[in-house]
Structure 1
Amino acid sequence: MLLDAEPFSASGGQHGALVIHGFTGSPQSMKPLATAFADAGFTVELPLLPGHGTTPQDMAATRWADWSATVEAAYADLDKRCERVVVAGLSMGGSLTAWLGQRHPDIAALIAVNPLIDPHAPIWQALIDAGKAADGDFLEAVGSDIALEGVTESAYDAVPVAPLLDLTRPLEEIADALPRITSPSLLFVSAQDHVVDPSSAQAWAERTSGEVEVVELAESFHVATLDHDRERINAGAVEFARAHLTEAGQAGRRHS
């Protein structure tokens, strides 16, 4: 298993937080945020997505259906144990966050860091084109896009082509269904991102039906949860979640 790639869980109070890592990555990239939620008293689940955290060869046999089923099950488990749940994701974890938000309007808040939404954006489309043209089963790695010196993401050193190409249809469906998101959203967007175009977060912000707050990260690259702005993300995410959980509780008391 990759270094620090194990899933993370924490028992807490009545509010839950589901935290989701990205494509070819591992829970290591989201552990600081998961820990911030745990320290704030949340019950937290940070699952390891199927095929991740071990070898690219393991991931080559997995698809979106496997990853989405994992987060759906994790959400259902948290929803049973907690009064309200917030969901937070990085990159493809942001795609999964949006997907859950479209399916579960009762999610208290959605938080995404450089979410992957737009399958036709230039950077992502170039990767897809490279996958289609590839002679073999793997491409060069896309992980560890971090500005902070000395920090490395625990991610694969290669991209499996088959699951990469499988992402196109789910992303198109998520992009088309953005208006179905009614939960409040907090989007963290890096000014310099070499993996996901800012058009993804822009599409989310412009087309969702819920309240949206966008925070630009001037100093961080794609894996901002491990980068210069990590503490800003941790504090902002917890504050946003708490605010909307409080609002939901007050609304419930008004209508009880």
Structure 2
Amino acid sequence: MHLLLLHGFTSHPVLTLGPLPRVLREAGFTVVQPALPGHGTRPEDLLRVRWQDWLAVAQEAYQKLPEPRGVVGLSMGALLAAHLAAESPTQALVALAPALALKHPLAPLAPLLAWFIPRFPGPDSIQDPELRKQNPNYPYFPTRTLLQLLALMRRTPEVLPQVKAPALVVEAGRDKVVDPAGVRGYHALLGSPKKDYLVFPESGHDLLLDRDREAGAQAVRDWLIANNNHLQ
């Protein structure tokens, strides 16, 4: 199976997914990791980007993959993955800590806050203190860019029932970024006849960079192998 891997908001395009790309390649999957617009350069580049730009890049990369193909997304990437799975032939959808609802109480006030607070520090997404020091993501982001993530969040619930591919949704048990109720809501709204749910209790939002990074990567690999074998 050919897999598109999508990172999250303010995430490093490659490093945020930790050992997952390597584990999947070793298992025989083809892996493609595009950089979504505004990422992998500097935080200010996010100011020139709309959520439709993220989706367009994801769509283009996905359409280039031969079938059978699947999509794996982390956080914001899991929202984009749902849009792809809803509109294109998809054999598997893996949503890691999908950002359907944010925990930060000030997130809905982003339009107002942008006038007074030009930038926010990067989220507290890794629980292990030593691993946190190696966080490859943006250390901050322009407050105004949060509006684009919120817009994508509002448009995702309507596409989830259209997803019919087998799906795996993963919750990070110590997530301080997204609300677990939103992760469960993402799973509940999926139209997939076969959908599974896993919780990794010791990790924060960036679970592939935290205590459960190896276990999480292996669980995704094993689920995809089982799903791929079922197709064959």
Determine the structure 2 residue equivalent to 1:253.
none
Determine the structure 2 residue equivalent to 1:114.
97
- Flag the structure with more relative contact order, 1 or 2, with Cα contacts below 8 A and sequence separation at least 6: 2
CA positional deviation for 1:130? 4.0
- 5 Å matches for 1:81-230? 83-104=67-88, 106-118=89-101, 123-124=103-104, 126-136=106-116, 138-143=118-123, 145-151=125-131, 152-210=134-192, 211-230=194-213
Aligned residue pair count:
228
CA positional deviation for 1:61? 0.9
RMSD of aligned C-alpha atoms?
A: 1.7
AA paired with 1:94?
A
Q: Secondary structure at the match of 2:19?
A: helix
CA positional deviation for 1:25? 0.8
Call closer, same or farther: CA 1:71–1:125 in 2, change over 3 Å: farther
Call closer, same or farther: CA 1:67–1:17 in 2, change over 3 Å: same
AA paired with 1:163?
T
Q: Secondary structure at the match of 1:58?
A: helix
> Is the 1:144–1:155 Cα contact (8 Å) retained in structure 2?
no
Q: What's the TM-score, normalizing by structure 1? A: 0.83
Alignment of 1:45 onto 2:29 = no
> Is the 1:185–1:213 Cα contact (8 Å) retained in structure 2?
yes
- For structure 2, the residue ranges without an aligned partner over 5 or more in a row are none
Query: Matched residues in 1 for 2:30 and 2:200: separation?
Result: 27
* CA deviation profile, 1:37-82 (whole Å, cap 9, x unmatched): 1111111101111111111111111111111111111111113xxx
Greater Rg, structure 1 or structure 2? 1
* CA deviation profile, 1:168-187 (whole Å, cap 9, x unmatched): 33222211221111111111
Call closer, same or farther: CA 1:178–1:125 in 2, change over 3 Å: farther
Query: Matched residues in 2 for 1:126 and 1:136: separation?
Result: 13
> Is the 1:24–1:143 Cα contact (8 Å) retained in structure 2?
no
Work out the percentage of aligned pairs sharing the same amino acid.
Answer: 30
Q: What's the TM-score, normalizing by structure 2? A: 0.91
CA positional deviation for 1:126? 2.3
* CA deviation profile, 1:155-203 (whole Å, cap 9, x unmatched): 1122223331123332222112211111111111012211111122111
